[in-house]
């Protein structure tokens, strides 16, 4: 057999047989550049002090959380206690009957009165006392659609107020009369948890809301039926935040935003009770 491969010969002719199994290394891409030793630091979990992304926790006394844990939790449990109450089962998808063979593989019908299945409402016990899980801030500015530099000011305003870096939000659809174009930056959002959340909450209830003259309280109609309550602040109200108030000449244009209190409460009534205990008024 000719051992020297020539252009005139083919490889299959040189071999005794050939594999019918496709070679695996062609199918599974491995990014070897991500395995290089320089990236080893990034594998350290972020709560380890050796990690690059380490952020110290418990650096100050969290009085809102302490107040909730020591005082409000048992109060709320007592207020929301209902004797001999049972789980209220939310409306679920309705499967078809089995009387006809045509109904055999049909998709289940939508729940009555809703588009998607609803969660059950369990009675409040010591295990599921409602608590504030996060505060979500959403700022949409029309001005940013016309002048793109405006979005820098919106993000800086939110970053100053909340001590967290906001994310940009983008338009999702095209609406010509509003100058809305898909993919255009139009504001920012941020999700506050733990210490940032309680700090923002206490600033809001103690320094900002009491000084807004027109503020009559959060509307009782607000809520998404799942225990999340939203209200908005006008551009005029923003100047009461101490971070803005003392440097008003640095912020020539202020922007209003929406604040959503996300709670673990199952109904809006429970969420309202929780927020009223934390010092937020309702009308």
Helix axes 194-203, 150-162, angle to 10 degrees: 90
Number of chain residues interacting with other proteins (CB under 8 A): 45
In angstroms, the CA 255 to CA 238 distance is 7
Out of 11, 23, 149, 177, the residue judged to bind other proteins by CB under 8 A: 149
**Would you count residue 277 as binding other proteins (CB under 8 A)?**
yes
Restricted to residues 220-259, the positions that interact with other proteins (CB under 8 A) are 250, 252
Answer for the pair 143, 153: CB distance below 8 angstroms, yes or no: no
In angstroms, the CA 61 to CA 66 distance is 8
**Shortest reach from residue 80's CB to other proteins, in Å:** 8
159 Cβ contact partners less than 8 Å away, ≥ 6 residues apart: 165, 166, 190
**Would you count residue 152 as binding other proteins (CB under 8 A)?**
yes
Residue bearing tokens 């919106």: 154
**Would you count residue 265 as binding other proteins (CB under 8 A)?**
no
Question: Judging by DSSP bridges, how do beta strands 228-233 and 185-192 pair with one another?
Answer: unpaired
In angstroms, the CA 29 to CA 31 distance is 6
**Shortest reach from residue 215's CB to other proteins, in Å:** 12
Answer for the pair 144, 115: CB distance below 8 angstroms, yes or no: no
The stretch among 3-11, 153-161, 171-179, 239-247 that binds other proteins (CB under 8 A) is 153-161
The stretch among 17-25, 81-89, 95-103, 224-232 that binds other proteins (CB under 8 A) is 81-89
Restricted to residues 197-216, the positions that interact with other proteins (CB under 8 A) are 202, 205-206
Q: Which residues bind other proteins (CB under 8 A)?
A: 49-50, 52, 54, 58, 61, 63-64, 67, 69-70, 73-75, 77-83, 125-126, 129, 149, 152-153, 155-156, 159, 165, 202, 205-206, 250, 252, 269, 272-273, 276-279, 281-282
């Amino acid at each position: 057999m000719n051992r020297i491969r020539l252009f005139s010969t083919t490889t299959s002719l040189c071999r005794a047989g050939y594999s019918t199994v496709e070679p695996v290394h062609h199918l599974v891409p491995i990014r070897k550049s991500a395995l290089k030793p320089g990236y080893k630091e990034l594998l350290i979990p972020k709560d380890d002090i050796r990690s690059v992304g380490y952020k110290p926790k418990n650096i100050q006394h969290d009085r809102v959380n302490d107040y909730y844990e020591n005082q409000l939790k048992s109060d709320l449990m007592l207020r929301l206690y209902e004797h001999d109450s049972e789980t209220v089962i939310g409306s679920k998808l309705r499967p078809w009957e089995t009387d006809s063979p045509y109904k055999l593989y049909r998709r289940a019908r939508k729940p009555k009165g809703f588009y998607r299945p609803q969660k059950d409402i369990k009675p409040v016990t010591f295990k599921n006392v409602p608590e504030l899980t996060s505060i979500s801030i959403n700022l949409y500015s029309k001005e940013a659609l016309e002048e793109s530099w405006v979005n820098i000011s919106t993000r800086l305003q939110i970053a100053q107020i909340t001590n967290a870096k906001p994310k940009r939000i983008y338009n999702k659809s095209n609406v010509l009369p509003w100058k809305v174009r898909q993919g255009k930056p139009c504001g920012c959002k941020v999700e506050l948890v733990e210490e940032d959340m309680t700090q923002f909450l206490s600033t809001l209830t103690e320094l900002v809301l009491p000084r807004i003259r027109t503020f009559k309280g959060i509307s009782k109609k607000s809520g998404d039926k799942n225990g999340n309550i939203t209200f908005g602040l006008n551009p005029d109200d923003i100047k009461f935040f101490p971070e803005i108030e003392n440097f008003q000449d640095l912020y020539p244009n202020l922007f209003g935003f929406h604040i959503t209190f996300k709670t673990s409460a199952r109904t809006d009534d429970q969420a309202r009770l929780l927020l009223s205990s934390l010092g937020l008024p309702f009308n």
